[in-house]
Amino acid sequence: MALIVQKFGGTSVGTVERIQQVAEKVKKFRENGDDIVVVVSAMSGETNRLIELAKQASDEQPVPRELDVMLSTGEQVTIALLTMALIRRGVPAVSYTGNQVRILTDSAHNKARILQIDDQKLRADLKAGRVVVVAGFQGVDEHGNITTLGRGGSDTTGVALAAALKADECQIYTDVDGVYTTDPRVVPQAQRLEKITFEEMLEMASLGSKVLQIRSVEFAGKYNVPLRVLHSFKEGPGTLITLDEEESMEQPIISGIAFNRDEAKLTIRGVPDIPGVAFKILGPVSAANIEVDMIVQNVAHDNTTDFTFTVHRNDYQAAQQVLEDTARELGAREVIGDIKIAKVSIVGVGMRSHAGVASRMFEALAKENINIQMISTSEIKVSVVIEEKYLELAVRALHTAFELDAPARQGD
């Protein structure tokens, strides 16, 4: 008998019919004798709908605390519906909000971090033979304020519960049957991976693959939670996220391609090329609480240089303002910006033992006439910034160049 935490995402609980199907699935696991804790997301589209409502009621940005009070309702609806569907099937079950479990978080509204989980109530319910259904994406801070964990945060609730309960496995059920070499919505030839290492999955998630929230992967790695991504309604082994690097080494050099359109680029031109200038430019940006991702400083010419960096698109305007002030102070020539950029990254632990991976990437992009604006590398990834309109072309070209395409099926 195993203890399994099962998380069902938004599309999997998007209608009452689907919730009935989820209940059927949970029932089967119970009949096998497993103890089950279920974590659910809000119905698909619900969190977006609530955010829209909040914007309509607010002047600019909704007050973060109040936004959390509202967003947490999405998951509160689905835990109750699923629990009703289970009870209807004769499966004893009980639902809890994050607050009721006591999923304690810090007070960073809209992006809170889980600090501690009280497992007493859950263990008592499991012992009494009940399925426990917990609201994903939400917690409570030490003052009793409702918090949420950032978009996609139900994954993190699932993994954190699995860690707290020392579950045998955390299963993330979604609308794809595993982690693919890249987003199958963009590249139909993408292939499901049998396994991917935590390290690679962490890179994939942080570079834009939203199949798992990055914090859930961090948690799973830190507490060694066996984690699997599976399709909610189709049978199959899914993808195991594993510590084991040995076998992955035999896989292709590149495990996957991630991309995102969430960044914007800013350039300050004609800044004096003197010590401390990078700090003078980025110091005020970080003081404004804006995270910087990629950075490029050009070779100086006439004792001045150009300095380019990327930020999240949501921070673009704020960063631009900060930079305009800095430009005046430093006597820089101008500030220019571009939000129509995208970042494409290739990821794989195999890169450690292979040379020439980056140049192969650049060659594939050159063949498609795609200009590279910025580059950054780490031990297991290479990222480039390109014009947004070439994103899909770039991902497809790289997928083919690194031999990740699934063999063509008959009739294709």
The values of phi and psi at residue 274, to 5°, are: -130, 160
**Cα Rg of the chain (Å, integer):** 23
272's tokens? 């004096």
136 contact, one of ligand ADP, Mg ion, ligand ASP, none, CB 5-8 Å limit per kind: ligand ASP
Q: Counting Cβ atoms within 10 Å, is residue 389 exposed (0-12), middle (13-18) or buried (19+)?
A: exposed
CB of 85 to ligand ASP, least distance (A): 19
**Does the footprint of ligand ADP cover residue 180 (CB under 6 A)?**
yes
Residues touching Mg ion, count (CB under 5 A): 2
What lies within 8 Å, CB to CB, of 60 at 6+ separation is none
**For tokens 């990740």, what's the residue?**
404
Q: How far apart are the first and last CA of the chain?
A: 44
Element (H, E) at 54: helix 46-57
What lies within 8 Å, CB to CB, of 366 at 6+ separation is none
Helix (H, G, I), strand (E, B) or coil at 95: strand
The values of phi and psi at residue 36, to 5°, are: -125, 130
Q: Which of residues 106-145 bind ligand ASP (CB under 6 A)?
A: 136-137
Question: With respect to ligand ADP, which residue has the nearer C-beta, 22 or 211?
Answer: 211
Residue type, 161: L
**Does the footprint of ligand ADP cover residue 182 (CB under 6 A)?**
yes
**Does the footprint of ligand ADP cover residue 10 (CB under 6 A)?**
yes
Nearest to 207 by CA among 111, 399, 346: 346
**Does the footprint of ligand ADP cover residue 210 (CB under 6 A)?**
yes
- Residues β-bridged to residue 316: none
Q: How far apart are CA 46 and CA 49, in angstroms?
A: 5
Q: Which of residues 28-57 bind ligand ASP (CB under 6 A)?
A: 41-42, 47
- Candidate list 139, 152, 158, 221; residue touching ligand ADP; CB under 6 A: 152
**Does the footprint of ligand ASP cover residue 345 (CB under 6 A)?**
no
**Does the footprint of ligand ADP cover residue 137 (CB under 6 A)?**
no
Segment interacting with ligand ADP (CB under 6 A) among 28-36, 87-95, 180-188, 267-275: 180-188
CB of 153 to ligand ASP, least distance (A): 5
**For tokens 């594993």, what's the residue?**
242
182 contact, one of ligand ASP, Mg ion, ligand ADP, none, CB 5-8 Å limit per kind: ligand ADP
- Candidate list 14, 62, 74, 98; residue touching ligand ASP; CB under 6 A: 74
Question: With respect to ligand ASP, which residue has the nearer C-beta, 155 or 177?
Answer: 155
The values of phi and psi at residue 242, to 5°, are: -130, 155
Segment interacting with Mg ion (CB under 5 A) among 25-33, 105-113, 148-156, 241-249: 148-156
Question: With respect to ligand ASP, which residue has the nearer C-beta, 211 or 323?
Answer: 211
Q: Which residues form the interface with ligand ADP (CB under 6 A)?
A: 9-12, 41, 152, 174-176, 179-180, 182-183, 185, 209-211, 256
Residue numbers at the binding site for ligand ASP (CB under 6 A): 9-10, 41-42, 47, 74, 136-137, 151-155
